Structure 1
Amino acid sequence: MDAFAEGAAPQAPRRAEVPEPRTAPAGGGAPPATVPAARHGGKGRAFTGVAAAAVTTVLAVVVAGQVADGRAEGESRAQAAGGALPPAAQAVPSSAPSAVPLTYAQKMGRLYPLGATLKGSGEFDTVPGSAKAPGKGPKMTYRVDVEQGLGLDGALFADAVQRTLNDDRSWAHGGQRTFERVSTGKPDFVITLASPGTTAEWCAKSGLDTTEDNVSCDSAATERVMINAYRWAQGSVTYGDAKIHAYRQMLINHEVGHRLGHGHVTCQKDGAIAPVMQQQTKFLDHDGIHCLPNAWPYPKS
């Protein structure tokens, strides 16, 4: 793996439908008083009209009351059964909660889709902006480039590089140095996230073959420290899915370690942690010795 090979109210009834004098009105009430025959002339008709109007009024009140009672009863039943009220009964419409953005740690703890044999365009975009060096030691500047079309979060990658390198467990340990990300000018090196195919091309410029184990490298003859996007997205068997965050930190520290002049080493005691400069993408065990995964140059800090 390296340079050294790493989201309506009811209508009133019509007059023609006024009940006969001895018919009880709706609702079971007493029948109206007997209406005199039509021989009474105008007075009889007027009296009949008054009675009809009274009956109509009673009917309207009864019907309206039944409608209201039915609606209230239906709402009570719906509420008792846990059902939703009709729209008119809902004072305030509910709204779906907004999505909560993932934290840095949550993003770093996820795997992302990317093919092991992907060959990208070879064209790079520089992640915009900058990140000031937080330490007081000698400053090293770097730029972050991401190959176009990978579908990966370039800003997350850049954030990971800055956080990792300036951690006291990393190469900034004890004020030895501090790292600053820039997007303009000429930096000390360019840490580059690229497809496996493009990574292989740039590593070959420094005489390194990354194709056999699909690893990363420090292309020392160029300005680029190459991070294989397949490994960044999918991790390795040696670390497993659960430790993808730590694996990504190891990738950054290992390849930048080469840029700083460090070569490969291995752990020398069974059960000891692997040095960050061990080729941990490829192996943790060697010569009967079992090494534990480790992402940091100074893990006990």
Structure 2
Amino acid sequence: MPTSSSRPRARVSKANDSDRYRGIRRRRPPPGRSLAIFSALLLAATGVFAGLVGPPLVDRLTADEQSVAAAGPEPSVDVTPLATPSAQPSVTASPQPPPLLRESGPVPRSGQDSFEFAPGLGKVAGHAGTLRRYRVATENGSGQDAEKFAEVVEQTLSDPRSWTGSGQLRLQRVPGGANYDFTVYLATGSTAGRMCAAGGTDIRIDGEPYTSCRTPGKVIINLSRWMLSVDHMVKAKVPLDVYRLYVINHETGHQLGHGHEQCPGKGRPAPVMQQQTLFLSGCTVNPWPYLDGERYEGAPV
């Protein structure tokens, strides 16, 4: 009987594991699947890292976007479309005060029958013709300042629509002590009445000194008219300043040799030498002797 040592032994292969699987085809995963697996692993690793350093960003930002985000939010911009001119809200201008038609308060009916003359020498108005000098004065006790009254008179007579518009006359205001051709006075009604009567003109209506006048060398403006205008102009809402222009030009026109004139037609401007203080006769108020550079006048009375 053979011994155990004489039994044939089983042959043991010394091949390694790779030889064990030799002949078996290895399968490679498709490229897309590999990329997906790689991406999943990368995202998982990123999530773990981000969990350690802070909360993950919701969106992936470019380098430019990251710099904008780091700078903070942009200031807000109003993108409301501009309205068309018709859609813009209307702006209401502040209402202008109504023109002064007459002064308020009592008007002195009499003064001291003496006058204060405005100082100073005015500029020559007009470019050619005879030079005539005039003084300006206000009655003491009238409450009127001589210099302020002189400013209005000088501005009126220096306007090219006034009498120098003829091109044949020059006018200049002079102080009280200078040589002069005539004087423009602002006098209370009582004093104006006496001064006019002394020169042969009765300015009374219903016994009251009402209008202004001119006597040789004297243009006399009635303070009552200067302050209160006249009823028909107040009713027509003619500004007091317009009446003042008229009365200066009208009475100075008499001093320069012009007589009264008539209204040339209904609706037309009244000639400055029309007696606008008393009536308009269908004309409209006009304070100037020259309109559009031409002498404007009506038929003589």
TM-score (norm 1): 0.59
Query: Alpha-carbon deviation of 1:150?
Result: 1.1
Quick one: higher RCO (CA 8 Å, sep 6+), 1 or 2? 1
Choose the corresponding residue for 1:145, options 113, 137, 154: 137
Aligned equivalent of 1:281:
277
1:228 to 2:219 alignment: no
Distance change >3 Å, CA 117–CA 148, structure 1 → 2: closer
Distance change >3 Å, CA 172–CA 231, structure 1 → 2: same
1:122 to 2:113 alignment: yes
Aligned equivalent of 2:123:
132
Choose the corresponding residue for 1:176, options 168, 179, 184: 168
Q: Provide the secondary structure at the position in 1 that maps to 2:183.
A: strand
Offset from partner CA, 1:213-266 (integer Å, 9 cap, x none): 60000012xx32100011111111232254211110000000000001111111
Uncovered stretches (5+) of structure 1, i.e. residues with no partner? 1-105
Offset from partner CA, 1:147-196 (integer Å, 9 cap, x none): 00111232221111111112111100042212111112220000000000
Report the Cα distance in structure 2 between the residues aligned to 1:153 and 1:217, rounded to whole angstroms: 21
Q: Provide the secondary structure at the position in 1 that maps to 2:219.
A: strand
Q: Provide the secondary structure at the position in 1 that maps to 2:204.
A: coil
Choose the corresponding residue for 1:202, options 189, 195, 199: 195
Query: Alpha-carbon deviation of 1:111?
Result: 3.7
Query: Alpha-carbon deviation of 1:126?
Result: 0.5
**Structure 2 counterpart of 1:214, which letter?**
Y
Aligned partners of 2:203 and 2:211 also within 8 Å: yes
Report the Cα distance in structure 1 between the residues aligned to 2:158 and 2:183, rounded to whole angstroms: 16
Report the Cα distance in structure 1 between the residues aligned to 2:277 and 2:168, rounded to whole angstroms: 27
Choose the corresponding residue for 1:252, options 248, 251, 259: 248
Report the Cα distance in structure 1 between the residues aligned to 2:215 and 2:105, rounded to whole angstroms: 22
Aligned partners of 1:121 and 1:148 also within 8 Å: yes
Aligned equivalent of 1:262:
258
Query: Alpha-carbon deviation of 1:109?
Result: 4.9
Report the Cα distance in structure 1 between the residues aligned to 2:203 and 2:107, rounded to whole angstroms: 12
Distance change >3 Å, CA 266–CA 117, structure 1 → 2: farther
Greater radius of gyration (CA): 2
**Structure 2 counterpart of 1:188, which letter?**
D
| Cα root mean square deviation, aligned | 2.1
Where does 1:1-301 land on structure 2 (aligned, <5 Å)?
109=100, 111-113=102-104, 115=106, 118-137=109-128, 138-183=130-175, 184-212=177-205, 214-220=210-216, 223-240=217-234, 242-285=238-281, 290-301=282-293
Identity within the alignment, % = 38
Report the Cα distance in structure 2 between the residues aligned to 1:211 and 1:203, rounded to whole angstroms: 10
**Structure 2 counterpart of 1:217, which letter?**
C
How many residues were matched structurally? Answer: 189
Distance change >3 Å, CA 211–CA 116, structure 1 → 2: farther
Uncovered stretches (5+) of structure 2, i.e. residues with no partner? 1-96, 294-301
**Which portions of structure 1, spanning 4 or more consecutive aligned residues, are displaced by more than 4 angstroms?**
113-117
Report the Cα distance in structure 2 between the residues aligned to 1:300 and 1:140, rounded to whole angstroms: 24
Offset from partner CA, 1:114-150 (integer Å, 9 cap, x none): 6567021101111111212133222110000110011
Distance change >3 Å, CA 144–CA 251, structure 1 → 2: same
Aligned partners of 2:101 and 2:229 also within 8 Å: no
Aligned equivalent of 1:85:
none
Aligned partners of 1:114 and 1:230 also within 8 Å: no
Report the Cα distance in structure 2 between the residues aligned to 1:197 and 1:134, rounded to whole angstroms: 33
Report the Cα distance in structure 1 between the residues aligned to 2:171 and 2:138, rounded to whole angstroms: 19
Q: Provide the secondary structure at the position in 2 that maps to 1:157.
A: helix
Aligned partners of 1:114 and 1:229 also within 8 Å: no
